[in-house]
């Protein structure tokens, strides 16, 4: 009986895993490129652009993500009478949030590369694009991997906040099952799934770090 109950609860909770993974994957696909662009423009010589980016990062880092999700979902209706589905809202909120954090990670990585690296590359006859792709980028990636892995791990756990606007992701289903069964077991099962996902992500990042070990600093 206990085994059947465990199996049934696991199936129900895992049905929300696909939603959690969709939020996770789509957020990464959009937030990493956006974060890279923001990092490159933050120190722009154009005062207006750099100031706007600094204000954006300040707002994102200075306010709770729950507030950002609620604002993204409800503000368009109250301000412009525009409505859109919950999943789109959660993706927009997550991308805006994580792009800001990734941008700071990428910017710190870029700023850590000595100017001599660029000068030496130009001396060898490489243009700016070749210098960035062949010389600078591999070093930046190695430097930002630990911080990036923390953000990615944080993202997979933060997907649980999608329930704030009524999205049935993995943790929200676990909470419902916990209330329905008067048991903490569903929450423990959900915690186990998160732990497995974090373990897989950690292995992937460790493999990337091992591949870049030939870059010594």
Summarize pLDDT for 35-79 with one digit per residue, the tens: 989 988 887 788 899 899 999 999 999 999 999 999 999 999 888
Rounded CA separation 201/83 (Å): 35
What is the model's pTM?
0.88
Given its phi and psi angles, is residue 120 left (phi above 0), alpha (psi -120 to 50 degrees) or beta? alpha
Positive or negative torsion for Cα 47, 38, 100, 168: positive
Rounded CA separation 71/5 (Å): 39
At residue 37, the 3 state secondary structure works out as: helix
pLDDT category of residue 144 using cuts at 50, 70 and 90: confident
φ and ψ at residue 168, rounded to 5 degrees = -85, 80
CATH for 2-211, options being 1.10.3720.10, 1.20.1260.10, 1.25.40.850, 2.40.240.10? 1.10.3720.10
């Amino acid at each position: 009986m206990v085994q059947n109950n465990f199996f049934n609860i696991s199936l129900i909770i895992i049905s929300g895993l696909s939603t959690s993974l969709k939020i996770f994957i789509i957020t990464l696909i959009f937030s990493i490129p956006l974060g890279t662009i923001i990092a490159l423009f933050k120190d722009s010589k154009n005062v207006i652009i750099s100031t706007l980016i600094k204000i954006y990062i300040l707002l994102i880092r200075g306010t709770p993500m729950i507030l950002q999700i609620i604002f993204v979902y409800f503000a368009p209706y109250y301000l412009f009478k525009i409505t859109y589905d919950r999943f789109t809202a959660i993706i927009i909120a997550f991308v805006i949030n994580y792009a800001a954090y990734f941008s700071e990670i990428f910017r710190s990585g870029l700023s850590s590369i000595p100017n001599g690296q660029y000068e030496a590359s130009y001396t060898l006859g490489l243009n700016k694009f070749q210098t960035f792709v062949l010389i600078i980028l591999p070093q930046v990636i190695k430097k930002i991997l630990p911080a990036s892995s923390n953000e990615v791990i944080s993202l997979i756990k933060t997907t649980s906040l999608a329930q704030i606007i009524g999205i049935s992701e993995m943790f929200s289903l676990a909470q419902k099952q916990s209330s329905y069964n008067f048991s903490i077991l569903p929450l423990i099962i959900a915690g186990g799934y998160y732990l497995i996902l974090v373990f897989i992500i950690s292995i992937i990042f460790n493999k990337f770090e091992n591949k870049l070990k030939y870059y010594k600093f």
